[in-house]
Structure formats: C-alpha cells, structure tokens
Amino acid sequence: MARANRRLSRRARYSAYVDGPDPLAPPVDLSEALEAIGQDVMAGSSAESAMREFLRRGGRDQTGLDELARRVAERRRELTNRHHLDGTLQEIKELLDRAVLAERKQLARDVQMDEGDRALAQMQLDNLPASPAAAVSELNQYPWRSDEARREFEKIKDLLGRELLDQRFAGIKQALHDADDTDRAALQEMLRDLNALLDAHRRGEDTDQQFDDFMARHGEYFPEQPRNVEELLDSLAQRAAAAQRMRNSMTAEQRRELDELASQAFGSPDLMDALAQMDDHLRSLRPGEDWSGSERMDGENGLGLGDGTGVFQDLADLDALADQLAQSYQGSELDDLDLDKLARQLGADAVVDARTLQRLERDLRSTGALRRDSDGRLALTPKAMRQLGKEILRAVAETMSGRQGGHEVRRSGAAGELSGATREWAFGDTEPWDVTRTVTNALTRRAAAGGGVGPAVSIEIGDVEVQETEARTQACVALLVDTSFSMAMEGRWVPMKRTTLALHTLVTSRFRGDDLQLIGFGRSAAVMPVEELVGLDAKWEKGTNLHHALLLANRHFRKHPNAQPVLMIVTDGEPTSHLEPDGQVYFDYPPDPMTIAISVRELDASARLGARTTFFRLGDDPGLARFVDGMARRVGGTVVAPEVDDLSAAVIGSYLDSRRNGALGAWTADDWLR
C-alpha cells in the first residue's frame, strides 16, 4: 500500500487552475466598492452606472479598467510609433545590393573573360532600375558569373515566398527556411486542398469528413489545431484581414513594388494565385472582419510582411480589448473580457487585475449587494444600504469621538429593561449572558466542525451573546430634510443623504425601540423610505414647503402618544410654499407672510405635542438665519449651523442629546457604534 501511494505521488502533476475562477483566491473586499457606489448613488447616479464607475476607477489597492485601458492604449502607441512597413522591401534591396556587389567583384577578378562581355555585363549592372521590383525582373535572365551572387539573388525569391506565406500562416517563415522543391510542392498541395475546402464550405457542400481528412494531411501547417472548419476560418480570416490592413497602410509605391515582386515568389506566379484565391474565399465567408482599415506607421524598425501582419493582429487585439474595457456596449460585463488577449498584450499582472475586477463585479451582483428593481434597473439592496450606513456611521462616530477627546467608554452595568435583542460579547461588556443563544452557538459551531453531540458543551469566546438593555425612554423621531434644488446646487445634496442614512442606521441598529420617520420637502413634502431618499434625484423645482413637512411630522407624533417626540429640520432656505385647504401647493418668492404664518402655526402644534426641536441651518442666508432663530426661540428649540461636511455629526449628536434627558445613563459615540 505504501509503495502504491509513492507511485501515485510520483505521477501527480501541478499546474495553474484554468477551469473557471480560482477556488482558492481570497475573497474580494466589497466594503470600499459599496461605499463608493453608495456615494455616487446619493449624488444622483444609478446603481449600475455607479458600479461601472468604481470598476473604471478602481480602489485604493485595486487597478481599475481605466488604468488597464491606458496601458492598452500605450501598448498600441508603442507598436505604431516603433515600426515602419517597408522592411521586406529593404531586405530585398540589401540582398540585391549584395548580389550585384559579389558579381562586380567576380567580373573584376575574371582575367580570362572577354573584355567585350565584361564591359556589357558591367554596363547592365550599372544601369539597373532604382525600383527593386524592376531590377529583380531585369536580372531574372542575367547570366551570373559569381556563385555567391546567384545564391544571394535566389534568396530574394525564397524570401518573397516565405513572407507571403507568413502573412497568412503565422510562423511558417522560419519553418520554410532553406526549403527545397519538395517542401514547395507540399505547400502548393496544401493550398489547393485548402481552397477546395473553403469553396465547398462557401457552397454549403463541405462535410466533417472533408475537414478531418484535410487536417490529417496538412495539420502541421496549423499549430493552433482548429477543431472544425469554422475555427479554421476564424484563424485564417483574422490573419488575412490583418495582412490586408497592412497593405492598406502602405504607400502606393510600396504596394506597386510588392505586387510586382510577389509574382516572382518561389520563381513562379502559382503561389500568388493560390493565396489570392484563398483571400477571395475568406472575404466572402468572413465579411465582418476589418478588411479596409489602415494605420500610420512611421517608426524606425522595419517590418517584414509576416511580422507586420502579426503587429496588425496585435493592433486588432488591442482595439478589441479597448472596446471590452470601455464596457460601453449594451449588456456589457467584465466576463466578456478576453483574458488570453490581455495576457499576450499586457502580461500576467494585467490578467490578475482583470480577474479581481471580474470577481468584484460578480460578487456585487451575486452576494445581495445589488438587485434589479421593478423597472429592471440595478439598485442597492437593503443589505447594501445597511453596510453603507454602518460605514458612514463609523466615520461620524470617529469624528465625534475626536472632538470630544474621545476614548473607549462603555456603560458599566447599564440598568433598564431588557430590549429583547442580543449581540456578540465584546471586551468590557457587563450585560447578562443570553444562555440559550450562547449554548446554541456552541452546539452549532461544533456540529459544523464535524463533532458529535456529547454530554459536555465547550463554549468559546465567539459563542457568547449578551442581552441588550433599554437604558432610555422610547423616542418618536421625525427628520425633515430639504430636497429643494438649492441643496443640490450648493453641494449639500450628498451630505444630506449621508446624514439621513447615518441616522436611519443608528436608530434601526442601536435604538430599535425608537420610531424614525424620514420626510423630504421641496415644493411639497412626502414620507420617504430610506432607499427612496438615498436614491432621490435632484429636480429643478421651486419651493420649500416646511408647512407640509411639519403636518406629516405631527401626524407621526400623534401616532405615538407615549413616546418622546424629537423633531429635526435640515434646510438651506426660508419657507416659500405651503398647502392650501384644497390640497393645492401655493408658492411665492420672497416668502408670502401667509406661508410663514401657517408654518409657524404648525411648528406650534409640534411644541404642544412636546417635541424637542432642532434646526440645522445650512448656508449664510441672513433671511434664513432670522427665520430659524425666531422659530427656535418660539418653541424653546435650538439652532445648529454646521459646515456641510459636519452635518451628519451634528444631527447624530442632536439626536443623542434629545434622548439623553430620558436615558438612565449617558451614551457616547463608542456606545452606539459597538
């Protein structure tokens, strides 16, 4: 048995995991993404566009799509700026010059040669055309005296044949180095069979057997090993289209020279005829390829026909990657990104970044952070809203603790009735244990670890839950937030939403006995769920209807007669509209005295209900300052004029202060953040 195990271990092989996402990859941290997406949603973006924006920007430690796209563009510029397209013509000219020079040396050395013949040969060499194609054509019938010169001249025809084939079949140029007549005959046979297969496919008469027979005879020319004729077509058409784009990018003179030279490839026009026939088939079968594009190539490195075609394929890959990274087409997802092309063009590090972004997008869609609403649009889920609210609340708590010279303060033995809620024990807690929850956690943990049920229960720190206590009276809270267009115009829109979400998170997580109502007021007012208010778009709508908002707040207070009413009003303008008895909205600016009067009357009603009132005045408008100061004095309320970035801390602090009068103990930022 031991020997068998050793044999098995020797046969084991390890390699990169390629079948889908890496199962051992660490989980993606969604908190930064959700915070950024939430910020954009609160600023008026859709959840879909906010997610796209984060994926484009990336995070603190995560490369985004924009950076990958920049590297793609830089790679493209590098290719176009480095190369020029007459490499093959230059190589032919160099071979031609070497052949002529060797022949001149031979003529000078040959003392037995007739002087008339020598003079005629030298005159023919002296008067060769400047065009390489014309010179090669003229020298086809020249009686070479130098064996070296003849070999150099024959290399021109061999080079042309290999370059033309390398344009259509990648890597064949090296394979055909020093090819003999047998090799050339095998190539001609492959091209005949290939054109027959393509022609049959174009007529719809090809069969799987015909393709299999073709690959059995000529598979060595296709190292990518296509599995069917469609894959063969894709590979051939992409390279042929790149060759055509390279030709389109040449000057008219370069094209003319190459056309004249091409007929002499391998010493006959047969190769060019077969390739022209193949190109016709490919154009017909793959019209969607880019056969008409061109590039400006003016670098210093000359490209041969085969290498140039490879560069143009690289450019096509880079263009495709740029489109995929832009994510601008309908239904685009990062899973559409071609990682093989990305690896070829930018390397393995870029693939790692892309895979992380793919997992991030996939997790955002699949882990409950985003969902489709009734209209089919992507939206933040309540789970995502809670997580975003916690992050905002944590930032607010740190701000408040810092201003107070805050340190870790916990309630020691907080008195009060049990709230019915439990939470995980933390260092410093003195609340009573919830024994049932603690034991259940221990049993569940042991069962998950594969342990059986025994007479003893082993309890670990993570199992312990404590009972929360109500160290306060119940509060009935109304947060009135100004949603007029001036809030957005003056940069107060997002801070207002952050404040709303922070207070909602605090109340629903730490003060569950309190009842919070969110009321937005512009030209008219409405009670809004937190999701609606956070996703609210700014509208150009005149009017600040504080009267309507106070009506809704007082209705909320009357529904909770045994709770302490807490009224908080966030606004940057005086009341300019009110509700008429028939329900219509009246608007006037400057504020109509009637609007002011009935707003004051409704605020008096809040005071009679016992509401503790706080105004949060945004901006430096003198009229607004006079109005809110007078209103606050009238009902014994307070006015806070925070900087816009401090609005959340101001509202949270005011809420806690309002509750503190009825609490059995003082609460700090550390208490409600635990």
What does the pLDDT read at residue 558?
94
Q: What average pLDDT does the segment 588-605 reach?
A: 92
Of these ranges, 23-32, 488-497, 605-614, the one predicted with the greatest mean pLDDT is: 605-614
The per-residue pLDDT of the chain, averaged, comes to 80
CB 603 within 8 A of CB 557: no
Q: 516: pLDDT confidence band, cut at 50, 70 and 90? A: very high
Task: Specify the DSSP element, H or E, that contains 625.
Answer: helix 622-635
What does the pLDDT read at residue 299?
76
Q: 122: exposed, middle or buried (C-beta count within 10 Å: 0-12, 13-18, 19+)?
A: middle
- C-alpha closest to that of 576 among 557, 608, 598, 560: 598
Task: Specify the DSSP element, H or E, that contains 469.
Answer: strand 465-470
- Backbone φ, ψ for residue 525 (5° rounding): -120, 160
High-pLDDT (> 70) share of the chain, %: 81
What is the Cα–Cα distance from 258 to 249, expressed in whole angstroms? 13
Q: What average pLDDT does the segment 34-49 reach?
A: 69
What is the Cα–Cα distance from 422 to 463, expressed in whole angstroms? 12
Question: Is 470 a residue whose pLDDT tops 70?
Answer: no
Question: Is 597 a residue whose pLDDT tops 90?
Answer: yes
CA dist 287 → 237, 240, 602 (Å): 9, 12, 73
List the single range of 300-304, 424-428, 561-565, 649-653 with lowest mean pLDDT: 424-428
What does the pLDDT read at residue 317?
86
CB 307 within 8 A of CB 325: no
List the single range of 13-27, 172-186, 233-247, 451-465 with lowest mean pLDDT: 13-27
Q: 404: pLDDT confidence band, cut at 50, 70 and 90? A: very low
Q: 609: exposed, middle or buried (C-beta count within 10 Å: 0-12, 13-18, 19+)?
A: middle
The residue type of 97 is D
Question: Which residue has better confidence, 21 or 54?
Answer: 54
Where does CATH 3.40.50.410 sit in the chain? Answer: 475-673
What does the pLDDT read at residue 246?
83
Interval 317-346: pLDDT, tens: 888 888 888 877 666 777 788 888 888 888
Question: Is 287 a residue whose pLDDT tops 70?
Answer: yes
Q: 298: exposed, middle or buried (C-beta count within 10 Å: 0-12, 13-18, 19+)?
A: exposed
Question: Is 373 a residue whose pLDDT tops 70?
Answer: no
What is the Cα–Cα distance from 43 to 49, expressed in whole angstroms? 12
Q: 607: pLDDT confidence band, cut at 50, 70 and 90? A: very high
CB 349 within 8 A of CB 326: no
- Six-digit token string for 110: 């040959």
Q: 453: pLDDT confidence band, cut at 50, 70 and 90? A: low
Residues written for the chain: 674
CB 173 within 8 A of CB 256: no
What does the pLDDT read at residue 116?
85
Per residue, the 3-state secondary structure of 165-187, as one string, reads: HHHHCCCHHHHCCCCCHHHHHHH
Q: 664: pLDDT confidence band, cut at 50, 70 and 90? A: very low
What does the pLDDT read at residue 54?
79
- C-alpha closest to that of 33 among 11, 66, 57: 57
Residue 63 backbone class (left: φ over 0; alpha: ψ -120 to 50; beta: rest): beta
Question: Which residue has better confidence, 385 or 637?
Answer: 637
CA dist 6 → 13, 191, 267, 465, 638 (Å): 14, 51, 61, 49, 81
What does the pLDDT read at residue 491?
84
- Six-digit token string for 348: 């393995």
What is the Cα–Cα distance from 235 to 216, expressed in whole angstroms? 18
CB 503 within 8 A of CB 481: no
Q: What average pLDDT does the segment 238-245 reach?
A: 86
Question: Which residue has better confidence, 10 or 107?
Answer: 107
What is the Cα–Cα distance from 523 to 580, expressed in whole angstroms? 13
Question: Is 221 a residue whose pLDDT tops 80?
Answer: yes
Q: What average pLDDT does the segment 93-98 reach?
A: 90
417-424 and 465-470 beta bridge pairing: antiparallel
CB 603 within 8 A of CB 636: no
Task: Look up the pTM and report it.
Answer: 0.56
Question: Is 534 a residue whose pLDDT tops 70?
Answer: yes
What does the pLDDT read at residue 425?
73
Question: Is 599 a residue whose pLDDT tops 90?
Answer: yes
The residue type of 422 is T
- Six-digit token string for 146: 């130098």
List the single range of 9-18, 44-53, 116-125 with lowest mean pLDDT: 9-18
List the single range of 4-18, 49-63, 293-307, 323-337 with lowest mean pLDDT: 4-18
Q: 282: exposed, middle or buried (C-beta count within 10 Å: 0-12, 13-18, 19+)?
A: buried
Count other C-beta atoms under 10 Å from residue 222's C-beta: 18
Query: Is the preceding peptide bond at 495 cis, omega within 30 degrees of 0?
Result: no
What does the pLDDT read at residue 665?
37
CA dist 124 → 119, 121, 148, 153 (Å): 9, 5, 18, 16
Query: DSSP H helical segments within 511-567, as ranges?
Result: 530-534, 546-558
- Six-digit token string for 138: 């003229």
Of these ranges, 252-266, 300-314, 384-398, 612-626, the one predicted with the greatest mean pLDDT is: 612-626
CATH number of 475-673: 3.40.50.410
- C-alpha closest to that of 496 among 422, 568, 565: 568
